[in-house]
Amino acid sequence: MNKKTDYMETAIIHSGYDSSKFQGSLNIPLYQTSTFAFDSAEQGAKRFAGEEEGYIYSRLGNPTVTVLEERIARLEGAEKGLAFASGMGAVSAVLFALTKTGDHILCSQGVYGCTFGLLELMKEKYNVDHDYCALATKQEIEQSIRPETACIYIETPINPTMAIIDLETVVEVARKYDIPVVVDNTFCSPYLQRPLELGCDIVLHSATKYLCGHGDVVAGLVVGKASFIDEVRMTTQKDIGAIIGPFDAWLLLRGMKTLPLRMDRHCESAQQIVEKLKQHPKVKSVYYPGDHEHPQHEIAKKQMKQFSGLISFEIEGSVETCQQFMNSLDMIQIAVSLGDAETLIQHPATMTHSVVPEENRKKMGISNQLIRLSVGLENVNDIWADLEGAFSKL
């Protein structure tokens, strides 16, 4: 789209695509091909040498994927974007690109279970160390930084505790020490939060979640400065190979068109469910950034447009109590993803974060009684009726 727009609702439908370059096709064509033919041997040589633009092989670039990469860059306000076969493909590519043996990664107090596993692997095999920190104050951040700290890696909201990190505070300290700040923006999508505008350097997504929104794609996205994205594309993506397929990119582009509408509904329904959970006698605690009693509610208000569709809550009892509650649900599905049209529920301690040792889970605030709910697009009264029915059976 040549016309500039300040509105995401427009950009998410039109940006990165010029139909006049694709025979006037209204929808983005699917280039379902592994490789591209050259007009001549000389042309092939020039493209491999970087002397001529053009596609070579879909692991190195594909027209359908290019539209996706340009669109996510536009939505996040970045110079360039890069698409991956999964969210963890994106996470690993970024962390491998930023670190070398002997380096250190400073992380937010909680991270996704597979990110935790990757960090442990990097420590064991490649001597890249890491520490977890609440990142709550400038003093705390400075005290946690080492001379060998290569990056600060943040989830906000944190999975699954819904704790919030003040990105501007972290950036202020990181700038002082010239350390890049990486933010996993999966729980918010660029519709709710834009970390680059707050001074962060790199943003990544499990695009499987809200960006796709339909539960039919596994994908990851990264945005940042062109120099960094080009480096990742030609090293830790090209040579390790976590490449998104063109059909997945096409499905993701289709799903993204409705992101603003979906996110408004997710957020509105989640807020209503939170108010009901807080009043329920069998609910011990509720964790949601949009709750005025949330300890970082003011920070969330400052850096988020709305508060997402993810809720975590604790119920009285044991792991078995949580399992009984989830097994008593009818419409709500027990599944570990989020951001789908369907409402999903899971038990982090035995599912997404089961790889994290119990002692570490406790430090992260993940108790055995914690349940994570991804509020879907169904009528909110039906969602609550299902939850209330399960509570009644405890």
**Annotation says 153 is catalytic:** no
186 near 206, Cβ under 8 Å? yes
Contact yes or no for 256/211 (Cβ under 8 A): yes
Task: Name the β-bridge partners of 356.
Answer: none
Distance, in Å, from the CA atom of 385 to the CA atom of 280, rounded to the nearest integer, reads 13
Instruction: Write the CB contacts of 45 (distance below 8 Å, at least 6 apart in sequence).
Output: none
HSE-up of 103 (CA within 13 Å, CB side)? 17
Task: Please pick, among 46, 57, 59, 264, the residue that the annotation labels catalytic.
Answer: 59
Q: What is the C-alpha to C-alpha distance for residues 185 and 76, in angstroms, rounded to an integer? A: 10
d(CA 81, CA 234): 13
Angle between helix axes 259-279 and 380-392 (nearest 10 degrees) is 30
Instruction: Work out the number of other CB atoms within 10 angstroms of the CB of residue 377.
Output: 18
Q: Are 331 and 382 in contact (CB under 8 A)?
A: yes
Long-range contacts of 222-226 (CB under 8 A, 24+ apart): 222/81, 222/82, 222/84, 222/90, 222/93, 222/94, 223/72, 223/73, 223/76, 223/78, 223/80, 223/81, 223/82, 223/196, 224/78, 224/79, 224/80, 224/196, 225/78, 225/79, 225/80, 225/201, 226/79, 226/80
**For residue 241, how many other CB atoms are within 10 A of its CB?**
12
Q: Which of 17, 112, 287, 288 is labelled catalytic? A: 112
Cα 391 to chain centroid distance, Å, stands at 31
Q: Please say if 184 is a catalytic residue.
A: yes
Q: How far apart are the first and last CA of the chain?
A: 54
Q: Is 382 a catalytic residue?
A: no
Residue among 166, 184, 291, 386 flagged as catalytic: 184
Q: Which residues, 6+ apart, have CB-to-CB distance to 39 below 8 Å? A: none
Is 209 labeled as catalytic in the residue annotation? yes
> Which residue is catalytic, options 80, 194, 209, 233?
209
C-beta of residue 256 within 8 angstroms of C-beta of residue 217: no
State the catalytic residues. Answer: 59, 112, 184, 209
